Structure formats: C-alpha cells, structure tokens
C-alpha cells in the first residue's frame, strides 16, 4: 500500500481528528496547522490579549486531543466543535483574570449606592447614567440577577446557586430584567425629538 497513500493535507477534518485521538503525530501536526489560525482568532477576539490567546489556543488543542473520542458529527462540524471549545476556554480565561470579584451578598450595597457628584458625572457619560438609572428601577431580585450575569459573568446556574433559587427562576429573572431594560432604554427620553 505504500506509494498509494492519500495526501494527509487533503484528509477530511474528521479523519484528522481521529488521527489526533489515536496519537498519530503526522495527523496531529496537520490538524493543528489546519485550525491554528481560526482557533487563535477566536481566542484573540474574546481575550484581546495575544499571550492569553496563545495560551487558550494551546489549551483548546489539548482539550480536543483529550476529548476527540466524544466528538459527534451529527451535532456540528469539527470546526464548530473546536471553535466552541476555544470560545468557552477564552471566556473562562477572561473571567479568571478578574482581580477583585464582588461577593453576591455585597451587590445590594452596590445597587443602592447612587450618588451624583461632580467627579462621578465627569467620569460617566450620559449613556452609563441612563443605564444605571434603568437598573435601579428594576425589582431588586431582577437587578441582582442581571448584575451577576451581565457584569460579573456568572452563568444562570451560578446565579441560581448564589441566590439559592431554582435555575428556571434565575433564567426568568435575567430575561425579565433584560426585557425591561430594552424597553426602558429604547423609549424616547425628555428632550428627544420624535417626528
């Protein structure tokens, strides 16, 4: 059979993934070369940091190697599967870099503090002031869920765990808060001219 070998660069993505899983060094190299720019691009788009994006890309290929046997082509292409891994790892890396997370029990104090000082107005533009005002008008439990998910990057499950509520309730609070904010922020404000 030697001499009739199919060029590895033209193998389908699934075959390269199988080779990666089997530990074939030649197929592993081709697999990485085929997807390295796309994976790095996804990581860079999420992290905005070249070194962190390189680390995420490395972790993505390691995870693909470890979990190649669970890939299911019925659920999407190899490209989709791999870029989803990269995206999720990049989000995790960004979350892990946050230096001072705020405990959920401290959110009430943060939501309740609305002081209007010259310094604050000098630093905040009109859009952020409008958003803060809209969030302050939300029911407390919806505002907390929105802050946990939107600002602190918590998943709905993490919000449910922190608030000791069912997952469905956490999702409903987040969705309801977002819907109310959309309506509030889309409504014309005094001074806007509507024709």
* CA 118-120-122 angle, 5° bins: 70
Burial, 73: exposed, middle or buried (Cβ in 10 Å; 0-12, 13-18, 19+)? exposed
Q: Are 82 and 64 in contact (CB under 8 A)?
A: yes
Q: What is the pTM of this model?
A: 0.48
Query: Kind and range of the H or E element at 30?
Result: helix 25-47
pLDDT tens for each residue of 80-131 = 889 889 998 988 888 877 655 556 666 665 555 444 444 444 444 455 667 7
| DSSP characters over 121-133 | HHHS-HHHHHHHH
| Residue written as token pair 């030649």 | 26
Q: Is the dihedral of CA 75, 79, 82, 84 positive or negative?
A: negative
Provide the pLDDT for residue 110: 55
Q: Are 177 and 142 in contact (CB under 8 A)?
A: yes
Provide the pLDDT for residue 25: 87
Parts of the chain with a pLDDT under 50: 1-4, 113-125, 192-195
Closest CA to 94 of 157, 46, 51: 46
Provide the pLDDT for residue 171: 93
Provide the pLDDT for residue 56: 93
């Amino acid at each position: 059979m030697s001499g009739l070998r199919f060029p590895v660069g033209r193998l389908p993505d699934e075959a390269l993934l199988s080779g990666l899983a089997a530990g074939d060094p030649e197929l592993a190299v081709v697999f990485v070369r085929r997807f390295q720019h796309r994976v790095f691009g996804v990581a860079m788009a999420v992290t905005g940091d070249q070194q962190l994006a390189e680390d995420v890309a490395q972790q993505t290929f390691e995870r693909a190697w470890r979990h190649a046997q669970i890939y299911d082509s019925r659920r999407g292409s190899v490209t989709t599967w791999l870029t989803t891994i990269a995206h999720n790892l990049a989000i995790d890396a960004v979350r892990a870099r946050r230096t001072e997370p705020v405990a959920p029990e401290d959110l009430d104090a943060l939501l309740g503090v609305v002081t209007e000082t010259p310094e604050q107005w000098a630093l905040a533009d009109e859009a952020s002031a409008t958003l803060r005002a809209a969030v302050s008008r939300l029911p407390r439990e919806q505002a907390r869920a929105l802050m946990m998910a939107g600002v602190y990057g918590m998943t709905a499950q993490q919000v449910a765990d922190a608030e000791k509520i069912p997952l469905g309730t956490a999702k409903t609070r987040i969705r309801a808060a977002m819907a109310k904010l959309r309506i509030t922020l889309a409504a014309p404000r005094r001074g806007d001219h509507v024709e």
